[in-house]
Amino acid sequence: MVCSLWHLIRCSGFEVDQADQLAGPKKKQTRANRNKNKIIVTLQGLATNSALLLALTVFSGLLQAQAINPLENDPRAARAGGSLFRAQCATCHGADARGISTIDAPDLTLMWVQGSRNDSEVFTIIRDGIAGSIMPPHGFTDTEVWMLVSYLRSVAVTGTMEPIGGDVERGASLFAEQCARCHRLDGVGGSLGPDLSGITARRSIDALLNALREPSANIARRYKPVTLVTASGETVQGTIKSEDAFSIQIMDSEQALRAFMKADLRQLNKDVASLMPEFSAAILSDAEVNDVLSYLQAER
Partner 1 sequence: MDEQTGYRGGIADMRRRLCRAWIFSGLALLAAMASAQDGAGPSYEDILRGFEDPERWLTYSGDYSGKRHSPLTQIDRDNVAELRPVWTFQTGTTTRGRGFETTPLLDDGVLYVTGSNNYAWAIDARTGRSFWSYRRNLPNDLTYGASAPVNRGFGMLGNRLFMVTLDAHLMAFDRRSGDVLWERELADYQLGYAATLAPLVLDDKVIVGISGGEYQTRGFIDAFDPVSGERIWRFNTIPGPGEAGSETWPDDPAILAAGGGGTWMNGSYDPDLNLIYWGVGNPNPDYYDENRPGDNLYTNSIVALDANNGELRWHYQFTPHDVNDWDANQVPVLADIEWRGEPRRVLLWGNRNGFFYVLDRVTGEFLLGEPFTATTWAREIGADGRPIILNDGSQGCLPDPWGGTNFYPPSFYPGLDLFILTARETCATYVPEEPANTRGQSNFGGTVFIDAEQGSGALRALDIHSGDLVWEFTYPSPTFGGVMTTAAGLAFAGDHEGNFMAFDVENGENLWHYQTGSRIWGAAAITYMLDGLQYVLIPSGTTLTAFALRAP
Closest by Cα among 133, 142, 169, 153 to 292: 169
Residue nearer to partner 1 on the CB measure, 7 or 127 = 127
Closest by Cα among 246, 221, 250, 219 to 234: 250
Distance CA 65, CA 54 (A): 7
Residue nearer to partner 1 on the CB measure, 93 or 203 = 93
Distance of closest approach, residue 129 Cβ to partner 1, in angstroms: 8
Residue nearer to partner 1 on the CB measure, 105 or 149 = 105
Kindly state whether residue 139 participates in binding partner 1, applying the rule CB under 8 A.
yes
Kindly state whether residue 24 participates in binding partner 1, applying the rule CB under 8 A.
no
Distance CA 63, CA 14 (A): 25
Kindly state whether residue 281 participates in binding partner 1, applying the rule CB under 8 A.
no
Kindly state whether residue 91 participates in binding partner 1, applying the rule CB under 8 A.
yes
Residue nearer to partner 1 on the CB measure, 262 or 266 = 262
Distance of closest approach, residue 33 Cβ to partner 1, in angstroms: 8
Kindly state whether residue 264 participates in binding partner 1, applying the rule CB under 8 A.
no
Residue nearer to partner 1 on the CB measure, 28 or 233 = 28
Closest by Cα among 109, 154, 147 to 126: 147
Alpha-carbon distances, residue 122 vs 43, 90, 129, 284 (angstroms): 20, 16, 10, 40
Alpha-carbon distances, residue 164 vs 174, 204, 248, 289 (angstroms): 16, 11, 41, 11
Of positions 21, 29, 83, 116, contacts partner 1 by CB under 8 A = 83
How many residues bind partner 1, per CB under 8 A?
A: 35
Sites of contact with partner 1 (CB under 8 A): 30-33, 35-36, 39, 83, 86-88, 90-92, 94-96, 100-105, 129, 132-134, 136-137, 139, 242-246
